[in-house]
Amino acid sequence: MAQSQVAIIGTGLIGTSIGLNLMARKDRSYTVVGADRDRGAARTAKKFGALDREVGSIEEAVEGAGLVILAVPVMGARRILQDAARYVKPGTVITDTCSTKAEVMRWAEEFLPAEVYFVGGHPMAGKEASGPEAATVDLFKEATWAMTPSPRAHEGAVQVVQGLIESMGATPLYIDPAEHDQYAAAISHVPLLISVALFRMARDSAAWDDLSLLAGPGFRDLTRLASGDPAMARDIVSTNREAIVHWLRRFRDELDTVAKAVEVGDEPVKDLLASTQLDRDTFILNPPRRRRIEKMEAPSAQDAIGHMFVGGMYDRLKQMSSANGDGGRAPRTTDSDRELRRKLGIEEDDDRR
Amino acid sequence: MAQSQVAIIGTGLIGTSIGLNLMARKDRSYTVVGADRDRGAARTAKKFGALDREVGSIEEAVEGAGLVILAVPVMGARRILQDAARYVKPGTVITDTCSTKAEVMRWAEEFLPAEVYFVGGHPMAGKEASGPEAATVDLFKEATWAMTPSPRAHEGAVQVVQGLIESMGATPLYIDPAEHDQYAAAISHVPLLISVALFRMARDSAAWDDLSLLAGPGFRDLTRLASGDPAMARDIVSTNREAIVHWLRRFRDELDTVAKAVEVGDEPVKDLLASTQLDRDTFILNPPRRRRIEKMEAPSAQDAIGHMFVGGMYDRLKQMSSANGDGGRAPRTTDSDRELRRKLGIEEDDDRR
């Protein structure tokens, strides 16, 4: 039996970290190929053991692949989806790791053939440094990983991506793409811009040379996001401008409230900070539960899916897509895609009926 | 020979971490006593091995001490300086770890007897959690530690505090108190308020329950300071209001610049972020040098000072203060305090003449 192939397009911090995870499996029955516009980055990823093979084009990467992972800035995903659409075979599962989801989902709908299954994704993980050199196998451990499956994605495809995510130690969170973008603006994109503004405030000061001597871990933490990839930031703004403008305004309102407390007196500052501290400590000590997941899948089923990905679920899906029609253990599914499953030759899974 | 005594007043994160450092020395010739308004905190510090002894009053803590360390919020330092002034013996060295320095220096001048040497200090270190439970022996490793010696502090006293700082792995930075407060407003106090405003923005949203599910390390890092001690924040604002208001205004100006770029287009955002990224990477990869220190002390002398603190400098200073007059190895000094040294019975150090 020929080996299955996973393609990673974009071998920066995220793509290379995914590659390290995929390559670390002892029982793997797939090869990992990678491509990057910057071939040096792809070669570095290969050197670090994140790829079996480095290739020079989208075509080479996706032609034999059953699972394609786009780990590029948002606008890069647009180009690659257009390009890859010409080479992908029916049944291929495509996922991405882009910072915004609504536009990406629109492009997938627009460019991909109907039998190619797109499942959007966004790992809420990262670090100060970027590039393949910064990749680590545990980057996604305990991270939330937003999932936005295309309405026409086969449920088996969704399970493959969920299995991939869980096998890296992350927690999938099913979410509507528009909702994702609104929340990501508040929790990620506006913080990035705040980080930039704070660093510029200090850096643009005539006193920077002296002032920077005092900078401690607080300043470093708060400006960390300002070291992110500018192209990624540009693409985020380009595809989520309205939400970002909205949350920036909300942030300025809150800052005005804080500034007013500072001007008014000492106790108002203490009261404001005491209630904020309480709320934040609650948030840190009792992190929000992944309620949506629990609604969709019982924990035992999730375990099974993780196992399926590692143990062969992905291969079976690939076999289906190659029209070998040898069936296999199918994930739980709904009536709506029963016909599709029949077409692909997937038998009902008895113990889940 | 009776053992020397170091007193730590305030056994929270900072005080307890200092205690852990002092207690870790195998060759120590001093005992460490600690006091806290919250006796439970002091008992915890003792249980963790940060103190030899826990006492219930300022008087008990400072009466036998040659070195007193105030690790409390700023306004607490005011009360303690007033109180301690009644009990400290001539020759005692007092330092603090407060977030602002100008007011603290003023109080030390106002309340302390002339022969008690105050050397202001501020470690640029911290972490998310507070209290003695959060203390670690390596909290100050590679941290900058601002030093603001009182003009009337004996140079030997300054060296004791510098030795203490260096022995914990931190880098002392001599700085004018008013200058410190301006820079700390930019690099520490305003970031704290930004952190608070960002957390409130997200928390006050009706969508918080869903939105918080997406919160990743970026949001966590940027809101970390919002978990700080509200009383400490109140005291910071109370003693540094003007500078904070100034830098808050500067920050809002920068945020407006960023917001305008977002509204205008994609490339302006990329350009803005690219130049910020470059500047921040330079800052991180080539951290600012401690030029001031190099001006004051050659590295070899610094090593010697670290050794002196551990090896007996502190004890000698204590002996001087007890008027035993048995001399000892004196640090490099200037003409201006020659008389004082003579009075205390410190001989000129031959190899430094």
Model confidence pLDDT, tens digit, residues A103-146: 999 999 999 999 999 999 999 998 888 899 999 999 999 999 99
**How much is the pLDDT for B44?**
98
Q: Is A335 on the interface with B (CB under 8 A)?
A: no
| Closest by Cα among B335, B327, B328, B337 to B353 | B335
The region of weakest confidence among A187-196, A341-350, B64-73 is A341-350
Determine, for residues B197 and A251 on separate chains, whether the beta-carbon distance falls below 8 Å: yes
Candidate from A125, A219, A284 with C-beta closest to B217: A125
Q: Does B202 touch chain A (CB under 8 A)?
A: yes
Give A-chain residues touching B276 at CB under 8 angstroms. Answer: 196, 199-200, 203, 226
Query: If residue A267 lies in a helix (H) or strand (E), which one and from where to where?
Result: helix A266-285
pLDDT of residue B59: 96
In the predicted model, what is the mean pLDDT of chain A?
84
List the single range of A150-154, B169-173, B235-239 with lowest mean pLDDT: A150-154
Residue A99 CA from chain centroid, whole number = 7
Q: Which chain B residues are within 8 Å of A199, Cβ to Cβ? A: 276, 279-280
What's the CA gap between A22 and B215, in Å, rounded?
25
Residue in A215, A225, A272 closest to B218 by CB: A225
> What b/e readout covers A37-55, taking b as 16+ CB neighbours within 10 angstroms?
eeeebbbbbbebebbbebb
Q: Inform me whether the pLDDT recorded for B45 exceeds 90.
A: yes
- Determine contact: A299 vs chain B, CB below 8 A: no
**Mean pLDDT of the B312-318 span:** 46
Give contacts of B124 with chain A, Cβ < 8 Å.
Answer: 214-217
Q: What is the pLDDT of residue B288?
A: 82
Among candidates B273, B280, B292 on the partner chain, residue whose Cβ is nearest the Cβ of A233: B273
Instruction: Check if B270 contacts A (Cβ < 8 Å).
Output: yes
What are B5-41's pLDDT values in tens digits? 999 999 999 999 999 999 998 888 899 999 999 999 9
Please give the average per-residue pLDDT across A307-321, as a whole number: 44
pLDDT of residue B337: 40
The predicted-structure confidence for A53-109, as pLDDT tens digits, reads as follows 999 999 999 998 999 999 999 999 999 999 999 999 999 999 999 999 999 999 999
CB atoms within 10 A of CB B273: 28
For the beta carbon of residue B3, count every other beta carbon within 10 angstroms. Answer: 12
* Closest by Cβ to A259, choosing from B128, B248, B277: B248
Chain B CB within 8 Å of residue A6 CB = no
Average pLDDT over residues A327-339: 37
Q: What is the mean pLDDT of residues B258-275?
A: 94
Q: Which of residues 31-50 of A touch B (CB under 8 A)?
A: none
Whether the per-residue pLDDT at A333 is higher than 50: the answer is no
Q: At what angle do helices B230-264 and A190-203 cross, to 10 degrees?
A: 100
Contact: A258, B290; criterion CB under 8 Å: no
Q: How confident is the model at residue B287 (pLDDT cuts 50, 70, 90)?
A: confident
Nearest-CA distance from B52 to chain A in Å?
A: 30
CA of B249: how far to CAs of A147, A191, A208, A261, A344, in Å? 40, 18, 17, 14, 62
Q: Tell me whether residues B219 and A254 touch, CB distance under 8 A.
A: no
Q: How many residues does chain A have?
A: 353
List, in order of start, the domains of chain A with CATH numbers.
4-175+293-352 (3.40.50.720), 179-264 (1.10.3660.10)
Average pLDDT of every residue of chain B: 84
Task: Output B59 or A331, whichever has higher pLDDT.
Answer: B59
Q: Phi and psi for A161 in degrees, rounded to 5?
A: -70, -40
The pLDDT assigned to A123 comes to 97
Name the residue with tokens 């709320």.
A279
The string of DSSP letters for B199-253 reads HHHHHTSTTHHHHGGG--HHHHHHTGGGGS-HHHHHHHHHHHHHHHHHHHHHHHH
CA distance A277 to chain B (A): 5
Q: Does A280 touch chain B (CB under 8 A)?
A: yes
Is A84 in contact with A65 (CB distance < 8 Å)?
Answer: no
Q: Report pLDDT for A178.
A: 94
> What pLDDT is stored for residue B3 in this prediction?
63
ipTM above 0.85, yes or no: no
Q: What residues of A are in contact with residue B146 (Cβ under 8 Å)?
A: 214
Q: Tally Cβ neighbours within 10 Å of residue A85.
A: 18
Looking at residue B64, its pLDDT comes to 86
Q: Give the span between the Cα atoms of B73 and B82, in whole angstroms.
A: 15
Q: Contact A214/B173, CB-based, under 8 Å?
A: yes
Instruction: Answer whether residue A319 shows pLDDT above 70.
Output: no
Distance CA B96, CA B120 (A): 6
- What local confidence, expressed as pLDDT, does residue A331 receive? 36
Query: What are the DSSP calls for B16-33, one per residue?
Result: HHHHHHHHH-TT--EEEE
A274 Cβ under 8 Å from any chain B Cβ: yes
CA distances to B155, B164, B311, B314, B330 from B305, rounded to whole Å, are 12, 9, 9, 10, 10
Nearest CA in chain B to A122: B214
Say if residue A345 is exposed, middle or buried (CB neighbours under 10 Å; 0-12, 13-18, 19+).
middle
pLDDT, tens digit, 9 for 90 and up, residues A180-202: 999 999 999 999 999 999 999 99
The pTM is what? 0.82
A122: left (phi over 0), alpha (psi -120 to 50) or beta: beta
CA-nearest of A295, A137, A260 to B249 is A260
Q: Report the C-alpha gap between B196 and A276 in whole angstroms.
A: 7
Q: Which of A146, A179, A234 sits opposite B266 (nearest CB)?
A: A234
A6 and A22 in contact (C-beta within 8 Å)? yes
CB-based contact (8 Å) between B216 and chain A? yes
Tell which residue, B337, B317, B326, has the closest CA to residue B92.
Answer: B317
Across A224-238, b (16+ Cβ under 10 Å) vs e yields bbbbbbbbbbbbbbb
DSSP-derived secondary structure letter, B189:
I
B264 has a chain A CB within 8 A of its CB: no
Best of B75, B122, B210 to disrupt the A interface (most A CBs within 10 Å) is B210
Give percent above pLDDT 90 in chain B: 73
| Residues in Cβ contact with A12 at an 8 Å cutoff, skipping those fewer than 6 apart | A36, A41, A71, A72, A130, A131, A132, A229
Dig out the tokens for A181 from the structure: 């973008």
Residue of chain A with shortest Cα separation from B212 = A288
Q: A203-228, pLDDT tens digit by residue?
A: 999 999 989 999 999 999 999 999 99
**What token pair was written down for A317?**
């899906």
pLDDT band of residue B249 (cuts 50, 70, 90) is very high
Give the model's confidence band at B130: pLDDT under 50 very low, under 70 low, under 90 confident, else very high: confident
Residues near A289 by Cβ (< 8 Å), separated by ≥ 6? Answer: none
Tell me what pLDDT residue B116 has: 95
Check A126 against B217: CB less than 8 A apart: yes
Report the candidate in A143, B193, A169 with the shortest Cα–Cα distance to residue B201.
Answer: B193
| CB neighbour class for A91 (10 Å; exposed up to 12, middle 13-18, buried from 19) | buried
pLDDT in tens, B77-117: 999 999 999 999 999 999 999 999 999 999 999 999 999 99
Contact B29, B4 (CB under 8 A): yes
Task: Flag if B279 and A199 touch (Cβ within 8 Å).
Answer: yes
Q: Which residue of B has its CA nearest to A233?
A: B270
Interface check B188 vs A, CB under 8 A: yes
Over residues A4-15, mean pLDDT? 96
Comparing A324 with B39, which gets the higher pLDDT?
Answer: B39
From the centroid of its chain, how far is CA B257? 34
Show residues of chain A in contact with B182, CB under 8 Å: 207, 211
User: Do A188 and B276 make contact, defined as CB atoms within 8 angstroms?
Assistant: no
CA triple B170-B175-B178, angle to 5 deg = 130
The distance of Cα B152 from the centroid of its chain, to the nearest Å, equals 20
Q: Does A125 touch chain B (CB under 8 A)?
A: yes
Alpha carbons B190 and A198: distance in angstroms, whole number: 9
* DSSP per-residue string spanning A134-199: G--TTTTTT-EEEEEE-TTS-HHHHHHHHHHHHHTT-EEEE--HHHHHHHHIIIIIHHHHHHHHHH
User: For B158-200, what is each residue's pLDDT tens digit?
Assistant: 999 999 999 999 999 999 999 999 999 999 999 999 999 999 9
Whether the CB-CB separation of B62 and B118 falls below 8 Å is answered with: no
Contacts of A175 in chain B (CB under 8 A): 210, 213-214
Separation in Å, CA of A8 to nearest CA in chain B: 23
